[in-house]
Structure 1
Amino acid sequence: MAASAVRFVAPLRSALSVPRFRASSALRSAAQPNIRRAFSQSALLQAKKYTPQHEWIDVSADGKTATIGITGYAAKALGDVVYVELPAVEDEVSAGDSIGAVESVKSASDIMSPASGTVVEVNTLLEEKPKTVNESPEENGWFAKIEITDASELDSLMDAEAYKASLEETD
């Protein structure tokens, strides 16, 4: 009887040691989205982008709203900002539309929207302290936040490296 038990247990032991079924990579990909790919795409969408006219747009983590301002280069070229005109909340804007203006001791310039959308917030601090544009153009000196209607418009804008290279070409 001991010999028959060994004949029964030996095949059972080898059956238990067989590796489990592994889904093919295609099945795993369908079952679990590629988190790394999704992260890198959202990171690209969220990266600050720049226009040749020296505006910037920074998409928030939700991928729907974005903050718009002017670059440090533009703020320096303007000189001391003395007045800022802001858009109205709920204004509809298209990419390339003026969303406000900046007046300085040297000149006045329109601020263009890098993307289409609806204005959801404006930086009222700039009405009280327009010099904030000079002091902190890419942080506290932002002009407006918009809810983006067409994120593909951001594809044609420059990333930080390309923008920096464009500045070096103009110098």
Structure 2
Amino acid sequence: MKKAPSGLKYAASHEWVRDEGDGTATIGISEHAQESLGDVVYVELPQLGMSVVAGEETGVVESVKAASDIYAPISGEVIAVNALLEDEPEIVNGSPYDSGWFFRVKISDPTELHNLMDTEEYESLAAAD
């Protein structure tokens, strides 16, 4: 597994969160998650304007091996989705932290970021998987 980028927060369910510093956050799945899934063939993302709640299902990612739920690592309103993933879901495999992001939210409770793991904590969790 490649080293997870620092500066992100991680959920135990393998989603990452990048606090954009303007009250919004970008969310995707980790390198470890996409490697476990294998070749991603479909991504179902939340709808624009949808309210998501930390820990609740917001979508699905399917691969040639399995389907896995996507959970919201923090609560907020979905303000953007990565439309590229509709036609090219395999972007998640090649660039899970950059062009393979899933959705962005307007954060409703910034304190929820404190409930997530930092890079070192997440890498320990992923190594134990």
Q: TM-score, with normalisation over the residues of structure 1?
A: 0.70
Work out whether 1:81 is the aligned partner of 2:40. yes
Work out whether 1:126 is the aligned partner of 2:126. no
5+ residue gaps, structure 2, are 1-6
For 1:124 and 1:164, the matched residues in 2 are separated by: 29
**In proportion to residue count, which structure has more helix?**
1
Report Cα offsets for 1:109-147 as digits up to 9, x if no partner.
Answer: 111000000000000000010000111111111100000
Aligned to 1:141: 100
Amino acid across the alignment from 2:18:
D
Work out whether 1:61 is the aligned partner of 2:15. no
1:2-151 → structure 2 map (5 Å cutoff): 47-62=7-22, 64-151=23-110
| RMSD value, Cα | 0.9
Considering only CA atoms, is the larger Rg found in Structure 1 or Structure 2?
1
Q: Higher relative CO (CA 8 A, sep ≥ 6), structure 1 or 2?
A: 2
Aligned to 2:3: none
For 1:107 and 1:145, the matched residues in 2 are separated by: 25
The SS at the match of 2:101 is coil
The SS at the match of 1:120 is strand
**In proportion to residue count, which structure has more strand?**
2
